[in-house]
């Protein structure tokens, strides 16, 4: 699907991509009937009770936060043959639910594989991108079928449109980048609840996301390393890259990374990163920034290999082993790819069926890691 955006939103996106951030801000303010330069202390969609203190000045144009990634046009269908649609998980069970925590609620979709097992099952938390929802993301990534094959549960929370009208996870707001606050706390609590209620393995919980969801996955990997055994970041940004909407738009355009390392020394959640080097939405440099925050300390020299998918997509993978020689971080640069899930399936949005298969590679990487007992 291609988002059908209002003209004023398209104009703001065009100005942002041209580097004219002030003009983009003014266009957004005019469209909403706000005086230019207005500073708002709160706006529709800010989580109740989760904003900064009343004395903290808010960014000049918070509505810009509502369209981060929302103006993306879906990647055109590739003229080369698409990968066959991954079949529905045979017999896998899907349920939906609602979770409340800290004044916020989240709807979610939960996939549980069929069959019996003596050991608790792993769980993968999947965070969709802007304008997407759990059904769309599940269809595009094909993660359920892979999870059925490997005996994993998959949890897809849905961002509430009241928290962000474009359903983006609020990775760019400073009050959603810390442990014990905002959306990181909400998502970690949801995971804990699902793990407990379904008897899943708390040592094998993983998180992955696309775009805004990828940025939130990076935040969760840094703020909850005792919850997530590994993370997958597709076309996302590192924790601390932005503090508000304007700095987020600037970083997405220029590729500027965090001012300082976000993770304390010694905390390095195993992470696998995918990023297209032709991404015009989130600058390709952000893949390297995410990887820099995840590289293991004291590991051996990285190894580099290159390849080409059957669909003709070239890729380069860099592996960073830990002190034990096992891969602790992987960086997949996808050559010629834009802002889309690699190896995705046409049933979903923001997908590139030419590959490589990000879902399969993420799950392979995840299952090699678990938290210490």
Q: Give the residue from 328, 265, 260 showing the smallest Cα distance to 299.
A: 328
Mean of the per-residue pLDDT values of the chain: 81
212: CB partners within 8 A, 6+ apart:
68, 69, 127, 129, 130, 168, 169, 171, 236
Q: Output the DSSP codes for 144-208.
A: HHHHHHHT-EEEEEE--TTT-TT----TTSGGGSSTTSHHHHHHHHHHHHHHHHHT--TTSEEEE
- pLDDT bin (cut points 50, 70, 90) of residue 215 is very high
Q: CA triplet 55, 213, 29: central angle to 5 degrees?
A: 45
Residue 201: per-residue pLDDT: 98
Residue 33: per-residue pLDDT: 40
Roughly how many angstroms between the first and final C-alpha of the chain, as a whole number? 44
- pLDDT bin (cut points 50, 70, 90) of residue 323 is confident
pLDDT digits over 25-39, tens only?
555 444 434 344 433
Of 110-119, 123-132, 253-262, the one with minimum mean pLDDT is: 253-262
pLDDT digits over 359-368, tens only?
999 999 999 9
- pLDDT bin (cut points 50, 70, 90) of residue 325 is confident
| Stretch 296-316: mean pLDDT | 92
Q: How far apart are CA 120 and CA 117, in angstroms?
A: 7
pLDDT at 310 over 60: yes
DSSP state of 41: S
Of 52-61, 228-237, 266-275, the one with minimum mean pLDDT is: 52-61
Which pTM was predicted? Answer: 0.79
Percentage of the chain exceeding pLDDT 70: 73
What tokens were used for 51? 């904003």
CATH 3.40.50.1820 fits 107-366, yes or no: yes
Q: How far apart are CA 251 and CA 117, in angstroms?
A: 45
pLDDT at 100 over 70: yes
| Stretch 185-212: mean pLDDT | 98
35: CB partners within 8 A, 6+ apart:
29
Higher per-residue pLDDT: 282 or 13: 282
């Amino acid at each position: 699907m291609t988002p059908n955006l209002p003209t004023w939103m398209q104009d703001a996106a065009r100005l942002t991509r041209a580097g004219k951030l002030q003009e983009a801000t003014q266009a957004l303010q005019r469209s909403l009937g706000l005086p230019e330069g207005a500073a708002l202390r709160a706006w529709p969609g800010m989580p109740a009770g989760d904003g900064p203190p009343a004395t903290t000045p808010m960014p000049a144009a918070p509505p810009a936060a509502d369209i981060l990634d929302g103006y993306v046009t879906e990647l055109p269908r590739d003229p080369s043959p698409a990968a066959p649609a991954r079949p529905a998980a045979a017999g896998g069970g899907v349920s939906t639910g609602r979770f409340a925590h800290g004044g916020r609620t989240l709807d979610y979709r939960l996939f549980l594989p069929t069959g019996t097992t003596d050991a608790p099952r792993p769980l993968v938390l999947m965070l969709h991108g802007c304008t997407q929802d759990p059904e769309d993301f599940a269809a595009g990534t094909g993660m359920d079928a892979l999870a059925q094959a490997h005996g994993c549960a998959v949890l897809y929370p849905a961002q509430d449109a009241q928290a962000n009208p474009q359903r983006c996870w609020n990775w760019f707001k400073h009050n959603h980048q810390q442990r014990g606050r905002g959306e990181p706390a909400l998502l970690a609590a949801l995971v804990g609840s699902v793990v407990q209620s379904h008897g899943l393995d708390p040592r094998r919980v993983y998180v992955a996301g696309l775009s805004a969801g990828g940025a939130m996955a990076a935040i969760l990997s840094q703020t909850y390393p005792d919850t997530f055994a590994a993370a997958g970041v597709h076309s996302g940004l590192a924790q601390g890259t932005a503090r508000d909407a304007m700095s987020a738009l600037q970083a997405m355009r220029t590729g500027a990374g965090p001012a300082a390392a976000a993770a304390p020394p010694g905390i390095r959640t195993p992470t696998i990163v995918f990023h297209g080097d032709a991404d015009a939405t989130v600058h390709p440099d952000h893949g390297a920034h995410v990887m820099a925050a995840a590289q293991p300390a004291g590991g051996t020299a990285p190894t580099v290999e290159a390849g080409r998918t059957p669909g003709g997509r070239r890729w380069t993978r860099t592996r960073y082993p830990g002190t034990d020689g096992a891969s602790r971080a992987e960086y997949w640069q996808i050559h010629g790819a834009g802002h889309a899930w690699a190896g995705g399936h046409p049933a979903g949005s923001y997908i590139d069926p030419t590959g490589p298969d990000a879902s399969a590679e993420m799950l392979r990487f995840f299952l090699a890691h678990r938290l210490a007992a």
